């Protein structure tokens, strides 16, 4: 479902490519969830909540890594 990047790190093209990839993946997930009974708003809200929770875990891991360095 998700193709690997075709551009180098830290380029505008890579960000555009990733944005397009994520947008397409989210569109597919939203439509699938909607077809089985979830509203688009509640599904996207849950996606945001999950993404924020994952970012918090990454931030916590970084703090732990920096504290042990």
pLDDT value of residue 22? 97
Report the number of distinct structural domains present in the chain. 1
The pTM score is: 0.79
**Tens of pLDDT along 2-61?**
899 999 999 999 999 999 999 999 999 999 999 999 999 999 999 999 999 999 999 999
Q: Is residue 69 pLDDT above 80, yes or no?
A: no
Residues 6+ apart with CB under 8 A from 8: 14
Residue 24 lies in a domain: no
Residue 3 lies in a domain: no
Residue 5 lies in a domain: no
**Cβ atoms within 10 A of the Cβ of 20, count?**
10
pLDDT value of residue 68? 83
**Residue span of the structural domain in which 59 resides:** 39-69
* Greater pLDDT, 30 or 69: 30
């Amino acid at each position: 479902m998700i193709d690997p990047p075709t551009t180098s790190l830290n380029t505008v093209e890579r960000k555009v490519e990733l944005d397009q990839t994520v947008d397409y993946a989210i569109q597919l997930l939203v439509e699938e969830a909607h077809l089985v009974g979830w509203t688009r708003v509640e599904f996207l809200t849950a996606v945001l909540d999950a993404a924020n929770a994952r970012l918090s875990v990454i931030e916590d891991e970084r703090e732990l890594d920096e504290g042990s360095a």
